Amino acid sequence: MRRIIMSGAYQSTSAAAVTAIVLSGVLSACSAAGTEESPMSTEQSVSRPLSGQRVAAQSTLKRSSGASTPSSNASLSPSVDGGPLVYQFGPVISKVKVVPVFWGNNVDGTVKANIPGFLSRVTQSHFYMDWLAEYSTTMPGGTNQVIGTGSATAAITISPANPTANHITAEEIQTELAAQIDSHVLPQADENTFYMVYFPPLQPGDHITNVGGHSCGGADAFCGVHRNFLHGSASIRYAIIPDFGPGSGCDVGCGSNTQFNNVTAVSSHELIEAVTDPNTVGGWRTASNTYEIADTCEADQDTLPGSSDVVQLIWSNRFGVCTSGYGPGNVVGLGGKCIEVPGYNTTNGTSLDYFDCNGGGNQVWRANSTPQLTGLGGKCIDLPGYNTANGAILDLYDCNGGGNQAWNFTYAEIRGYGNKCFEIPGGNTTNGTGIDYYDCHNATNQKWTFTTAGEIRGQDNKCLDVPAANTANGTQVVYSDCNGGQNQKWAVQPGGAITGLGNKCLDLPASNTANGTGIVIYDCNGGQNQKWVISGSVVGFGGKCLDLPASNAANGTPLAFYDCLAAGNQNWTFFP
């Protein structure tokens, strides 16, 4: 038995029912009227327990090495209807502002005490939220929004007209939310506001209804749902999270973790779906327009790095996997997994391997101008004994400046704010051509090589250059013959900045993601418009490449050195 989410609905159902749903394209949707201001959305997010059967939700796992690391976070589960998410040219939520709402005084005490802190941590988690920039909407015809971290307010307990015990309808919930906003109990909504409403236990046999199913009970039961309606000119986006307590129905069908951990997993599911598809239409959905970002991964849970917070994995188009995120210093390859030092073992000669990304310190790498890739204990990725034979296994070793520890990204994209790329416009390699920012399209004029000399070279081996070494803020960088000058030297910094000429940063001016915006230098300020991700081959001594042998993405596969083949198992994405 597994869960499936229908049109934003977090549901559980039998395997046979899943097959029928996928093959027939059946969509469980609500067509009930909304508030007086507007009809309610007809799509939502649900989790349905069947006949008391328990959902086989994945429990948090720990590595067998005994290292104190977060759990495994990548799943190769395909999308539920077999394809990636497609943008439908509607809005997303850029910097979500969650308002936790308790429906009366009888909401579960553990939820009341702990869910506000969870929502604050998860919305501010760079590991869980920042990589969602791949679902930004800066493409032509999009809404020009970039997704990043957000925030959560203090929780608010409301005194609703129907406080606890009886059947509650979606219409009642929407009317109540509108009234609470009008009376200033709840804050006014803006484009980033998302109300997460937690409910108390209901009387036996009673449910929350008119949302495409019944909360926690029956064949169409749900565990969580996100919806929206218009109130005046404001779009009110909200989630319904029913009580998961003993006897609720959600206690046996909404996950196999603890009661509260299942609540947080469902909460994260609805949160991320609201961020990427807030109006339940027009955002990021599968090609069939049936499923949202968390539906693909509904059976998989993980913990946030450095915490015990349980979240649901979510789908990454870039890597084609379910993941709980990527953080600064991760080097990510085929199948969305990370290069790591196994077992945190910093002994010289420890072979490096490939493992689910989990936010652990043994998966953090830093580039420097040598250029080395340094990791745990300040040691380096090393080609043992300069052995350039195909299949040589890479290890961790004291940094020594040797050529067998020098690595450079080659034929690589430089992606930034809004998920666009550095480009030589029109492939014009004339000296002095200004470098601009454009939709990534995998063409030669968007491929760059980071050399051991600190240069960034382009398609015909010319260099990224600050003309006349002009350090004035706003000077556009250009493409020119390489000359060894300091105005052509660049360093990748922890956190994603690329610096040159006296601590100036490569900068997307005013965060303007319009195609053709010129890339400039500017005082470093830590802004998102000065953070870059590098994706390409990693080339070492003798011109060979960092390689995942035989494209084997199984946990624990050792990293090797091999002839460069421009293949997927040699493509790496570095989040500096």
- pLDDT recorded at residue 78: 37
Separation between Cα atoms, residue 324 and residue 316, nearest integer Å: 9
Count the helices and strands in the chain (H runs, E runs). Answer: 6, 44
Predicted confidence (pLDDT) per residue in 352-364, tens digit: 999 999 889 999 9
184: phi then psi, degrees, rounded to nearest 5: 70, 20
- pLDDT recorded at residue 145: 94
Asked, for residue 20, whether it belongs to a domain, the answer is yes
Predicted confidence (pLDDT) per residue in 255-313, tens digit: 889 999 999 999 999 999 999 999 998 999 998 888 999 998 887 899 988 789 999 99
Are 308 and 337 within one domain? no
Are 318 and 335 within one domain? no
pLDDT at residue 27 above 80?
Answer: no
- pLDDT recorded at residue 452: 85
Are 384 and 303 within one domain? no
- pLDDT recorded at residue 161: 86
- pLDDT recorded at residue 370: 63
Quote the percentage of the chain above a pLDDT of 70: 85
Predicted confidence (pLDDT) per residue in 505-517, tens digit: 999 999 999 999 9
Quote the percentage of the chain above a pLDDT of 90: 69
Separation between Cα atoms, residue 360 and residue 68, nearest integer Å: 8
Are 305 and 420 within one domain? no
The pLDDT confidence band at residue 555, using thresholds 50, 70 and 90, is very high
Are 117 and 151 within one domain? yes
Are 296 and 335 within one domain? no
CATH code of residue 360: 2.80.10.50
Look up tokens 């550095």; give the residue: 422
Are 229 and 341 within one domain? no
Asked, for residue 36, whether it belongs to a domain, the answer is yes
- pLDDT recorded at residue 1: 22
Domain boundary among 323, 342, 374: 323
For 223, the domain range is 2-53+74-323
Are 220 and 369 within one domain? no
Domain boundary among 294, 323, 352: 323
Q: How many domains does the chain have?
A: 2
Predicted confidence (pLDDT) per residue in 93-113, tens digit: 999 999 999 999 999 999 999
- pLDDT recorded at residue 523: 97
Are 243 and 161 within one domain? yes
HEC profile of 447-506:
CEEECCCCCEECCCCCEEECHHHCCCCCCECEEECCCCCHHHCCEECCCCCEEECCCEEE
- pLDDT recorded at residue 354: 96
Asked, for residue 63, whether it belongs to a domain, the answer is no
Separation between Cα atoms, residue 507 and residue 523, nearest integer Å: 9
Other C-beta atoms closer than 10 Å to the C-beta of 385 total 8
Are 291 and 349 within one domain? no
